[in-house]
Chains A and B, each alone.
Chain A
Amino acid sequence: MASGDNDRLRLDRDDELVDELLRQEFARSFAGGERSHMVLNGLGPSIRRARRVHRAKQVVLGAAAGVALLSGLSVVNRLAVFEESELTVAGETKQEAVKVDVEEGEHRELTVTLTTVESTTRPSDPAGDDGQAAERDEGMVPTTGPSSEPVSSGRDSTSTSQPSSASTTASAPTSTTSLVSTSIGPDGTTTLISRCGSLVVKPTGDRVELIEILPDPGVGVDIKESGPTEIEVGMEGNGRHCELKVRAHDGRIITNDGPESEHERG
Chain B
Amino acid sequence: MRSPESEFEDVFLDNYERLVSSLTAIVGDRELARDCVQEAFIKASTRWRKISRYDDPAAWIRRVAINRSRDHLRSSTRRQRREVLVSPDAGIDADSTGLVDSSITLGALLRTLPERQRAAASLYYLEDLPVADIAVSLGISDGAVKYHLNQARSALRVVVERQEQRHG
Contact = CB atoms under 8 A, between A and B. Distances in A.
Interface string B23-61: 011000010001000100111011111100000000000
A122 B35 CA distance: 37
A60 interface: no
Task: Report the interface size class on chain A.
Answer: 35 or more
B157 A128 contact: no
Interface string A40-69: 100100110011011000000000000000
Interface in B44-92: 45-50
Contacts of A43: 38, 41-42
A36 interface: yes
A70 interface: no
Contact of A25 (B38, B45, B160): B160
A27 B126 contact: yes
Contact of A129 (B4, B20, B24, B122): B4
B112 interface: no
Contacts of A51: 45-46
Contact of B45 (A37, A39, A50): A50
Interface residues of B, number: 41
A19 interface: yes
B16 A129 contact: no
Given A128-B49, A129-B49, A21 B42 contact: no
A26 B107 CA distance: 9
B125 A54 contact: no
A130 B49 contact: yes
A224 B106 CA distance: 59
Interface in A8-25: 14, 17-19, 21-23, 25
Contact of A26 (B43, B45, B49, B125): B125
A30 B22 contact: yes
Given A19-B153, A25-B106, A130-B48, A32 B21 contact: yes
Which among A19, A32, A47, A214 has the highest number of chain B CB atoms within 10 Å?
Answer: A47
A149 interface: no
A46 B50 contact: no
27 contacts: A18-B160, A19-B125, A22-B121, A25-B163, A26-B25, A26-B106, A31-B18, A31-B126, A33-B17, A33-B30, A34-B21, A36-B17, A37-B13, A39-B34, A39-B38, A40-B9, A40-B13, A40-B16, A46-B42, A47-B41, A128-B49, A129-B4, A129-B45, A129-B47, A130-B49, A134-B49, A213-B1
Interface of B: 1, 4, 9, 12-13, 16-18, 20-22, 24-25, 30, 34, 38, 41-43, 45-50, 104-107, 121-122, 125-126, 128, 153, 156-157, 159-160, 163-164
